């Protein structure tokens, strides 16, 4: 036991967050970082992902690739990569979904720190170094860095990601920065494995959008976490529109979104902090709803009924009515029409928006041109913006 501890100290002395003196981690010891990579039908993207991980200056890591019953050549790609790089480990299982694949990877991981990567994305040149440096200084439970979207031609930061990562923070909790609950992604974070186990973080299985409940639990249970300004992840926008987040029009997608929003909401309410709860309902929960509102024209009646149920359940006088959330005015109006079960009005509004780009809304919904087309008494002058 003592000999193993000494070997670890010697190795850690040679391996800095930015790289390794000899470039060869000791295979007899657990790695510093374990990165879990779930794989399903991504043969076109997987080589770039694995290559970006292999290029990380921190040599002391392992890659746990979980082949979730992929129907393509993903397993062959991983096996070939593992022959070149013994840090890569392949685990194959029948298809159970992304949440189950991640949970399997976590169970197999041996590292002191835990990271995630989606197999169709790419890591920047030094993804973990800034987070490790911050955690060693702060002693926090995990660190969260900036992510950038990547469409192959350019990279950019979404407005909310920009807001959450404008300032570097060390050792804060969710009460200090409740808007960070909107950072629902697993892959731009580095967790202490001891915290992950202690907080009993687990990804829901059998549903999409499993990140949000798991990350909500992590933020709420953390004694403290660090927020970084550095970019630690490049999030690919697929040209074939085959990713999970590009299927909002499907009923199954809306069902999964409903389930994960309900789980996350229950966690936040259990945290029992009024300001955190308010920010969650006003600024976090409604962020992606406009995509589901936009999918209404031509949707099945079941889709509409589920959407009405969801909006009424999560945004109401007991929480924050949708028209009082912090999303843009046209989105608040969409949500209000849904809550009022006024599908024809919503469809007319969406048609009007499409015909009048750029949108002329100035935030005063009482006076915008739609006011003459529909009765919208919920929107008085001076409403929340």
Q: Are 134 and 226 in contact (CB under 8 A)?
A: yes
pLDDT band at 14 (very low <50, low <70, confident <90, very high): very low
Tokens found for residue 329: 């005015």
Q: Which of 200, 161, 51 is nearest to 117 (CA)?
A: 51
Residue 8 has pLDDT above 60, yes or no: no
Q: How far is CA 332 from CA 38, 193, 289, 322, 346, in A?
A: 36, 40, 10, 6, 11
Residue 382 has pLDDT above 50, yes or no: no
Residues near 99 by Cβ (< 8 Å), separated by ≥ 6?
Answer: 203, 204, 205, 206, 207, 210
Per mean pLDDT, which range of 136-150, 269-283, 322-336, 362-376 is the poorest?
362-376
CA–chain centroid gap for 160, Å, is: 12
pLDDT band at 356 (very low <50, low <70, confident <90, very high): confident
Q: What span, in angstroms and rounded, lies between the C-alpha atoms of 74 and 46?
A: 7
Residue located via tokens 């779930």: 38
Phi and psi at 59, nearest 5°, equal -75, -25
What is the pLDDT, as a whole number, of residue 380? 43
Residue 176 three-state SS: coil
Residue 302 has pLDDT above 70, yes or no: yes
Q: Are 144 and 223 in contact (CB under 8 A)?
A: no
Q: What percent of the chain has pLDDT over 90?
A: 78
Residue 130 has pLDDT above 80, yes or no: yes
pTM attached to this predicted model: 0.87
Residue 38 has pLDDT above 50, yes or no: yes
Residue 363 has pLDDT above 70, yes or no: no
Note the helical H segments in 199-328: 211-221, 251-271, 274-279, 289-294, 301-314
Q: Domains of the chain (ranges plus CATH)?
A: 26-121 (3.90.550.10), 124-240 (no CATH), 244-372 (no CATH)
pLDDT band at 358 (very low <50, low <70, confident <90, very high): low
Q: What is the DSSP letter of 288?
A: T
What is the pLDDT, as a whole number, of residue 18? 37
Q: Which long-range contacts (CB under 8 A, 24 or more apart) does 152-156 make?
A: 152/236, 152/237, 152/239, 155/234
Tokens found for residue 373: 């087309």
Task: Please compute the mean of the pLDDT values over residues 257-264 and round it to a whole number.
Answer: 96
pLDDT band at 336 (very low <50, low <70, confident <90, very high): very high
Q: What span, in angstroms and rounded, lies between the C-alpha atoms of 122 and 51?
A: 8
Residue 249 has pLDDT above 80, yes or no: no
Q: Are 11 and 26 in contact (CB under 8 A)?
A: yes
Residue 113 has pLDDT above 60, yes or no: yes
Q: Are 346 and 295 in contact (CB under 8 A)?
A: no
Residue located via tokens 């009993």: 200
Which sign does the torsion angle of CA 85, 44, 153, 228 carry?
negative
Q: What is the DSSP letter of 284?
A: I
Calculated CA dihedral for residues 212, 214, 215, 219, nearest 10 degrees: 130
pLDDT in tens, 191-244: 999 999 999 999 999 999 999 999 999 999 999 999 999 999 999 987 654 444
pLDDT band at 5 (very low <50, low <70, confident <90, very high): very low
Q: What span, in angstroms and rounded, lies between the C-alpha atoms of 364 and 383?
A: 8
Residue 170 has pLDDT above 80, yes or no: yes
């Amino acid at each position: 036991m003592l000999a193993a501890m000494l070997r670890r100290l010697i190795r850690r002395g040679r391996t800095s967050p930015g790289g390794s003196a000899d470039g060869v981690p000791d295979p007899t010891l657990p790695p510093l970082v374990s990165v879990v990579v779930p794989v399903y039908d991504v043969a076109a993207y997987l080589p770039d992902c694995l290559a970006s991980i292999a290029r990380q200056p921190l040599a002391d890591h392992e890659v746990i690739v979980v082949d979730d019953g992929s129907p393509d050549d993903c397993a062959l790609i991983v096996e070939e990569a593992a022959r070149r790089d013994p840090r890569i480990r392949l685990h194959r299982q029948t298809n159970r979904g992304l949440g189950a694949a991640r949970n399997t990877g976590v169970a197999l991981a041996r590292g002191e720190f835990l990271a995630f990567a989606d197999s169709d994305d790419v890591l920047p040149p030094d993804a973990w170094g800034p987070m490790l440096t911050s955690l060693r200084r702060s002693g926090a439970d995990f660190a969260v860095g900036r992510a950038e979207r990547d469409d192959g031609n350019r990279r950019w930061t979404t407005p909310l990601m920009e807001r959450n990562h404008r300032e570097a923070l060390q050792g804060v909790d969710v009460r200090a920065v409740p808007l960070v609950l909107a950072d629902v992604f697993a892959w731009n974070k580095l967790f202490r494995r001891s915290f992950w186990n202690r907080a009993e973080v687990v990804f829901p299985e059998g549903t999409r959008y499993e990140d949000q409940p798991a990350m909500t639990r992590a933020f709420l249970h953390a004694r403290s976490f660090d927020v970084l300004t550095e970019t630690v992840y490049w999030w690919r926008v697929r040209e074939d529109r085959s990713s999970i987040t590009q299927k909002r029009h499907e009923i199954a997608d809306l069902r999964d979104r409903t389930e994960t929003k309900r789980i996350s909401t229950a966690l936040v309410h259990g945290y029992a902090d009024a300001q955190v709860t308010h920010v969650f309902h006003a600024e976090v929960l409604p962020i992606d709803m406009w995509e589901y509102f936009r999918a209404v024209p031509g949707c099945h009646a079941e889709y509409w009924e589920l959407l009405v149920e969801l909006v009424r359940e999560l945004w109401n006088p007991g929480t924050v009515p949708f028209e009082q959330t912090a999303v843009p005015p046209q989105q608040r109006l969409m949500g209000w029409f849904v809550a009022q079960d006024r599908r024809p009005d919503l469809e007319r509004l969406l048609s009007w928006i499409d015909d009048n780009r750029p949108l002329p809304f100035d935030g005063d919904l009482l006076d915008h041109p739609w006011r003459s087309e529909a009765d919208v008494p919920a929107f008085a002058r001076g409403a929340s913006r």
